[in-house]
């Protein structure tokens, strides 16, 4: 298993900011399995941190994970970010999609296929949203060990609306011996975010 630690610099105050914003706390899943995965994840964090409406306040450990799904593909690096933001959930999602595009992500192709970067909005405060193109919390978060474990690392007391605390959701998956929707076991305790 490959483990990568990324340290926040100067409280990750991109653009010279030195304090945290008083916005909403949001959590984003990170995943990449094409190209220089670590460099791409670092670029995604830099791009998000450079937004005037986002402050990256935490980055989980990145772990190499086995992919799941119908497509043969290389392993992923997965992790999560904690953000403080003044953006609404739709605007934050648009920012995530824009960062993906900047880093070469193309959404054409098979679902759960390989990708240069995958940024998933997992939680936005304790908000529940179900509208076209935006579902919060992430609809499969509670089933995905690869997303729950980095989230527990950042915020063990965080709650998934309608499901419960992330630490309890992860414990339930571990008791069941499951690793996510595919039922495959990875070399690390995670699978790709996606």
pLDDT in tens, 106-148: 776 666 667 889 999 999 999 899 999 999 999 888 888 889 9
Residues (pLDDT < 50) of the chain are: 1, 8-21, 180-194
Instruction: List, by residue number, the catalytic residues.
Output: 105, 115, 118, 120
Confidence (pLDDT) at 194: 36
Q: What is the pLDDT of residue 119?
A: 95
Q: Flag whether 192 is in a domain.
A: no
Which pLDDT score, from 0 to 100, does residue 116 have? 83
182 inside domain: no
What is the count of structural domains for the chain?
1
Q: Look at residue 113 in the predicted model and tell me its pLDDT.
A: 67
- Residues 56, 12: contact at Cβ < 8 Å? yes
Structural domain includes residue 114: yes
Residue 92 lies in a domain: yes
Q: At what angle do helices 145-154 and 166-176 cross, to 10 degrees?
A: 140
Q: Which domain holds residue 30?
A: 3-176
Give the CB-side neighbour count of residue 127, counting CA atoms within 13 A: 18
């Amino acid at each position: 298993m490959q483990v990568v630690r990324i340290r926040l610099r100067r409280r990750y105050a991109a653009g010279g900011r030195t304090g945290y914003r008083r916005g909403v706390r949001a959590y984003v899943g990170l995943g990449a399995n094409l190209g220089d995965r670590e460099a791409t994840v670092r670029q995604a964090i830099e791009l998000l941190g450079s937004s005037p409406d986002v402050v990256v306040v935490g980055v989980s450990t990145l772990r190499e994970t086995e992919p799941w799904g119908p497509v043969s593909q290389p392993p992923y690096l997965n992790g999560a970010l904690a953000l403080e933001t003044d953006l609404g959930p739709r605007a934050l999602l648009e920012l995530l999609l824009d960062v993906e595009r900047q880093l070469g992500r193309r959404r054409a192709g098979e679902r759960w296929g390989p990708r240069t970067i995958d940024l998933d909005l997992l939680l936005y405060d304790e908000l529940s949203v179900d509208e076209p193109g935006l579902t919060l919390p992430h609809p499969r978060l509670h089933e995905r060990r690869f997303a729950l474990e980095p989230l527990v690392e950042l915020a063990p007391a965080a709650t998934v609306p309608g499901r419960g605390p992330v630490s309890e959701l992860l414990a339930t998956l571990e008791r069941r011996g499951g690793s996510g929707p595919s039922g495959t076991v990875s070399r690390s305790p995670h699978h790709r975010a996606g």
